[in-house]
Amino acid sequence: MRVIYLHGFASSPSSRKACFFAERLRQAGATCDIPALDGGDFFGLTLSRQLAVIDAVAAGERVTLIGSSMGGYLAALYAASHANVERVVLLAPAFGFARRWPQRLGEGVVARWRAEGSMEVFHYAAGEARRVSIALLDDGAQYPDFPQVRQPALLFHGRQDDVVPYTFSEEFQALHPAAQLHLFESGHELTDVLEPMWRLTADFLGLANHG
């Protein structure tokens, strides 16, 4: 089995969740690729550019996608238009990506972002503030809030998530009744529930549950 793990916004292939899942997957006999979704250009980050990175890594092969936050939304978007994706595992997926920015930041902040052409955000992987172009928001507006995923889907979300409310995953499940949704008493990062998420993921993927 070939798995591609998709990290979240302002994160990297060395994130705690990425490394955890990669190690467990490899122990279970799967291969796991973790691309740097910004392609070395965080300022010019867009969903379209990230989808192109995923496409290049998948190379038309049969793959399973695991994505966290924005990476979860990207996994759903990619799966919706690529039959070579067999399954998706979504961790606090950032559904409603474009419309949630104004809701979360406020219209004034988004207006300044647009006027200046870029905005400073904290880059968790780099441990410092970096700027990202308004192209991220403008490009994201073309994509649906809830992609039409036809593949088997497993979702995890925290009830205390203050970044992407768990109700977004509930809405996705309502549109995709075959999707499995597990809610935890956790926040957006879900790093305190890695073990139970892995056990459920291993079962979902038909892998031996190492650890």
Domains delineated in the chain: 2-98+145-205 (3.40.50.1820)
What pLDDT is stored for residue 76 in this prediction? 98
* pLDDT interval class at 211 (50, 70, 90): low
Res 210 pLDDT > 70:
no
Cβ 73 vs Cβ 7: under 8 Å: no
> What pLDDT digit, counting tens, does each position of 78-126 carry?
999 999 999 999 999 999 999 999 999 999 999 999 999 999 999 998 9
Q: Averaged over 63-85, what is the pLDDT?
A: 98
Side chain identity, residue 103: Q
The residue-averaged pLDDT of 12-25 equals: 96
State yes or no: pLDDT of 66 exceeds 70.
yes
Contact partners, residue 37, CB within 8 Å, separation at least 6: 6, 7, 45, 50, 53, 54, 71, 74
Nearest 10 degrees: Cα torsion 12, 14, 20, 23: 120
Give 177's contacts (C-beta < 8 A, 6+ positions apart).
none
Contacts of 17 (CB under 8 A, 6+ apart): 7, 68, 91, 189, 190, 191, 194
Give percent of the chain above pLDDT 90: 95
Q: What letters, b where the CB count within 10 A reaches 16 and e where it falls short, cover 81-99?
A: ebeebbbbbbbbbbbbbbe
